[in-house]
Amino acid sequence: MAVLHGHVVAGGLELALVCDVVIAADTAVIGDGHLNHRLTPGGGSSVRLAGAIGRGLARRLLLTGELLPAGEFARTGWIQEIVPHSDLDATATRICHRLADRHSPAQAQLKTLLYRVDGLAPDTALRTELDTFAENWTTSSVADAVKAFLEPHTL
């Protein structure tokens, strides 16, 4: 999980781009910034930024070195929550607890699956998903999970 505040530039941005969940303070400013120092990215922003925020905005940030307020990224879906700076720690703690509460072999398998299917053709990605499903079925107590799911829904 990435918790963004202050200036999130170059390497800081590249670290955030590999995180599954991203939240930001409303005071954060974000951008690539490499060109401001006559550098090109080396930690992944040229590869990952377009997928996170869209091709147009990514090219703008990469080619201009601009820094934009966190609110400018709200519509991209990359940042899941933008909160007042004073609420950042509490929000981060709440989300971290939720992620930790879901810790299981299935969560680890799902995280691996999401990485493996990224960029694959849909038919290949669906086969990969089914393979992971079959593996999870044999390594997790799926029957207990299904029973627990159905019990409160019984008429």
Give residue 114's pLDDT.
Answer: 94
Tell which residue, 129, 105, 104, has the closest CA to residue 116.
Answer: 129
* CATH number assigned to the domain with residue range 2-101, chosen from the 4 options 3.40.30.10, 3.30.460.20, 3.90.190.20, 3.90.226.10: 3.90.226.10
Give residue 110's pLDDT.
Answer: 94
Intervals of the chain under pLDDT 50: none
Tell which residue, 102, 121, 95, has the closest CA to residue 2.
Answer: 95
Tell which residue, 30, 35, 34, has the closest CA to residue 13.
Answer: 30
Domain limits, the chain: 2-101, 105-153
Beta carbons of 96 and 63 less than 8 angstroms apart: no
Task: Report angle CA 17, 59, 16 to the nearest 5 degrees.
Answer: 10
Give residue 154's pLDDT.
Answer: 52
Burial of 152 (0-12, 13-18, 19+ CB in 10 A): exposed
Can you say whether residue 138 is alpha, beta or left, with left for phi > 0 and alpha for psi between -120 and 50 degrees? alpha
Tell which residue, 78, 76, 82, has the closest CA to residue 25.
Answer: 82
